[in-house]
Amino acid sequence: MERRETETLEFKKSTSELKEGVISLSSMLNKKQNGVLYFGVKNDGTVVGQQIGASTTSDVSKAIKDNIKPRITPSIEVVKEDGKEVIKVEVCGEDTPYSSYGRYYIRSDDEDLPMTNTQLEAYFLNKNYDYSKWEKEATTYTVDDVDEDLLIRYVNDGNESGRINFLFKDVKTTLTRLELLNGDYLNNAGYYLFSNKKPLLLKLATYPTDERISFSDMKQFKGNIFECINEAIKYVTNNIRWRAEIKGTTRVEIPEIPIEAFREIIVNSFAHMKINPSSCNEIYITPTKIHIYNPGPLVPGTNPKMFASGEQGSMIRNPLIATALYYNKTIDAFGTGFERVFRLCKNIDYSYISNQFGFTFEFIRSNDGMINETINNMISGTLTTNEQLVLELLKKHGQKYTKQDMANSVGKSMSTINRVIKSLKDKKLIARIGSNKTGHWKAKE
């Protein structure tokens, strides 16, 4: 251990100076992208030792993870210096600038100085928003770690869309043609797109109130990019409100937010995210909004309106990943996503924000014209499609509708209609009015 503090080395007498230590780590990261901090050493290099309790190192780890943004994962160990136990903390990271406790610092010799506005602006303007170099870097995974069935379906979809002009031969040949291999190993883009190792974390939640004090549903899903996109779209689809209309004899369900709109935002959130082990995409739903977040901020000086209007051309953060999503038509066209979302949401409010941590898009929800609890139950699986069709027909036509009419309307046999009627009766959604011979079924209010 060096005995003098430097631009990458800091001493603290004990963990009573934990906050100051966290600030030093962030300032060293901003200066040199790495740093070492010792607890149990005075600032002149004298080793005094650190008392180690059951939770001491975990408390240090939590303070660093909670208060340095973007989030980093420190290496923490208890070592002996001059016969005394001290805590050694090492950090590294290139996602500068890093903040601690909401402020930005820069290391100068052995001091932690607050960044000026000019310094901070320079960091963001010079930040590399193109991760193509990272995408091409080799991982430790091979073609044996690829979801082959997913890759076959992907190529078939690309053939149908006319964007892939070769047939699936084998995993290695296909990934080579897609530029997703680095030698014999998957590159980062190939790993996150097609790996069967579940590399990405997606957090999903639904809250009964806007305060988000408690949740009614929460889950964490792990998968590759394609799996996470599908899970995210399914989750939002199953948890938004719908309204139902019967047009002639056909039931039409209309979502409160156009599916194409939130699908576009979800797809873009994975195409343009900054992928690292400590970050994840998040979706949560409250009574008033649908919140979609990804750890990939927009380039400073740009905003979604600029992309939608054509004032700013497409800026692709992950070109290999985005191109792969384009080939099977997950992305319809480059640089047109926001324009489609805004066009679909002419009568829907929305908001967005981009900062150094990531990009958030929120759809504002409305209760106007949304379907009742009965249909909500159907959407979540309580009623089958046939049950809901019959229920809506009874509501609309009442006693004029016989079982034969129902069978003709939904295109099912009488035996199926009888089963549906029995199920609706058991669920107390319909009641028999009059006798079995001359009466009729009525939908309950």
Per-residue pLDDT reduced to its tens digit, 200-220: 999 999 998 888 888 888 999
SS3 402: coil
Q: Is residue 3 part of a domain?
A: no
Q: Is residue 248 part of a domain?
A: yes
pLDDT digits (tens, 9 = 90+) for 172-200: 999 999 999 999 999 999 999 999 999 99
Structural domain tally of the chain?
Answer: 3
167 Cβ neighbours under 8 A, 6+ residues apart: 155, 159
Shared-domain flag, residues 283 and 382:
no
* Domain final position from 127, 146, 176: 127
Shared-domain flag, residues 276 and 385:
no
Q: Is residue 110 part of a domain?
A: yes
H helices within 250-336, ranges in order? 259-271, 304-309, 319-327
The domain that holds 97 is classified in CATH as: 3.30.950.30
The domain that holds 231 is classified in CATH as: 3.30.565.60
Q: Is residue 187 part of a domain?
A: yes
Shared-domain flag, residues 277 and 169:
yes
Contact call for residues 179 and 320 (beta carbons, < 8 A): yes
Contact call for residues 202 and 225 (beta carbons, < 8 A): no
Tokens of 91: 């950090």
Contact call for residues 74 and 90 (beta carbons, < 8 A): yes
Tokens of 255: 């979502």
Shared-domain flag, residues 326 and 178:
yes
Shared-domain flag, residues 87 and 175:
no
* Domain final position from 341, 371, 401: 371
Distance between start and end Cα atoms, the chain: 78
Q: Is residue 403 part of a domain?
A: yes
Identify the band that residue 397 occupies on the pLDDT scale cut at 50, 70 and 90.
Answer: low
Q: Is residue 2 part of a domain?
A: no
Identify the band that residue 370 occupies on the pLDDT scale cut at 50, 70 and 90.
Answer: low
Q: Is residue 229 part of a domain?
A: yes
Four-CA torsion 301, 306, 311, 317, nearest 10 degrees: 70
* Domain final position from 336, 371, 406: 371
DSSP string, 114-160: EPPHHHHHHHHHT-----HHHHHSB-S--GGGB-HHHHHHHHHHHHH
Tokens of 328: 């099977």
Domain that holds residue 291: 128-371
Cα(273)–Cα(296) distance, rounded to whole angstroms?
A: 4
Whether this prediction's pTM lies above 0.75 is answered by no
The average pLDDT across 120-145 equals: 80
Shared-domain flag, residues 308 and 417:
no
At residue 281, the pLDDT reads 95
Q: Is residue 4 part of a domain?
A: no
Shared-domain flag, residues 141 and 70:
no
Cross-strand bridge partners of residue 182: 185
Shared-domain flag, residues 397 and 293:
no
Shared-domain flag, residues 291 and 302:
yes
Cα(203)–Cα(138) distance, rounded to whole angstroms?
A: 27
Cα(359)–Cα(382) distance, rounded to whole angstroms?
A: 36
Shared-domain flag, residues 112 and 210:
no
Long-range CB contacts for residues 144-149, cutoff 8 Å, separation at least 24: 145/186, 145/191, 145/195, 145/196, 145/197, 146/171, 146/175, 146/186, 146/190, 146/194, 146/195, 146/196, 147/194, 147/195, 147/196, 147/224
The domain that holds 404 is classified in CATH as: 1.10.10.10
pLDDT digits (tens, 9 = 90+) for 64-100: 999 998 889 999 999 999 999 999 999 998 778 889 9
Shared-domain flag, residues 177 and 100:
no
Shared-domain flag, residues 97 and 182:
no
